[in-house]
Amino acid sequence: MPLVATLLLLPLGGCALWNSEPDKALPASRTLPGEEAPGDVIDPNVQRPKVGLRKIQGQDYEVGAYVGTFVADRRSPVLGIYGLRAAYHKSERFFVEANYETASTVGYDELRSLFGADDASDIDYDSFGLSVGYNLLPGDLYVSENYTLPITVYPIAGIGYASYKDDSFTAYNYGAGVKMFPLDWLSLRFELRDQFWSNHGLDHNAVFTFGMAAFF
């Protein structure tokens, strides 16, 4: 009799096995009461800080002044010079410039002696030129998180005239410079040129200048 009861109960056990539902998947992590669910270790939605980039203005006029030194041959002193510039920027890269400079006859005796320019007032020098420049490597210096300093490196070349030691020459020049823009309307400029002319051979003269200019 027990054997018969066992055989009768086997089909019922099989139905229970077939009708049982699988256990639901447990969550990957559980939190205890009063705890917050852990967040992502790395936030994929990272926003970059917005930095205001300022471009070099195109189709603007630029007027400024500069000071510098004029280095001729070894037999001549180093002259202190000053001058004026005026430029027209056809685009952000291309500009045309006119400049006039003359020898400085004003300064402290100590500085004139330091630069070997004690007799600068006795030497006649002035120059006028027309030049063409091209902003070759415009870029930005990141001074701080919210401030950038536009900067450009440019080659420049031109033609004009020069009066030196009571002689006048057709003068040519070429060189390069660095220009920075601390403000949208203001530029700072460092430049080195070779100004040369023909006087029984080519005379090469180095002209180093620092200047400021305003855009309008």
pTM for the predicted model, two decimal places: 0.68
Report how far residue 136's alpha carbon sits from residue 96's, in angstroms, rounded to the nearest whole number: 14
Q: Which domains, and CATH codes, for the chain?
A: 61-215 (2.40.160.20)
Query: In this structure, is the dihedral angle defined by the CA atoms of residues 87, 88, 89 and 94, taken in order, positive or negative?
Result: negative
User: What is the structure's pLDDT at 78?
Assistant: 78
User: What is the structure's pLDDT at 18?
Assistant: 47
149 neighbors 159 (Cβ within 8 angstroms): no
Strands (E) located in the chain:
61-71, 79-89, 94-103, 125-134, 139-144, 147-164, 167-183, 186-198, 202-215
Beta bridge partners of 125: 164
Report how far residue 72's alpha carbon sits from residue 101's, in angstroms, rounded to the nearest whole number: 15
User: What is the structure's pLDDT at 82?
Assistant: 93
Given a cut of 50, the residues of the chain with pLDDT beneath it are 3-4, 7, 15-18, 20, 26, 49, 51-54, 108, 120
Report how far residue 87's alpha carbon sits from residue 69's, in angstroms, rounded to the nearest whole number: 21
User: What is the structure's pLDDT at 102?
Assistant: 93
